Amino acid sequence: MEQSEIRFWISEVCFWTLSMLAVGGVALAVIIWLSWPVEPSLAIALLFVIGINKLGKWAVGG
């Protein structure tokens, strides 16, 4: 593997990681905002389950 190829993969991983964090942050804000009168901890638990599910699918390649 060449050094430029390694740099490309590192930048690609950083880009996707930051993208996922941004999307996750927006989703967290929306879920908490929508369910605030109900129960904030429920929204956080739901987001955690969704996040683990998405991470699992991403890790498998789906």
28 lies in a domain? yes
pTM, to two decimals: 0.41
Q: Quote the number of domains for the chain.
A: 1
13 lies in a domain? no
16 lies in a domain? no
37 lies in a domain? yes
18 lies in a domain? no
pLDDT digits (tens, 9 = 90+) for 40-60: 677 777 778 887 777 777 767
Residue 40: which domain range? 24-62
pLDDT digits (tens, 9 = 90+) for 3-28: 888 888 888 887 888 888 888 888 88
Residue 8 tokens, joined: 């490309």
Sign, CA dihedral 55-59-60-61, equals positive
15 lies in a domain? no
- Cβ contact 30:46 at 8 Å: no
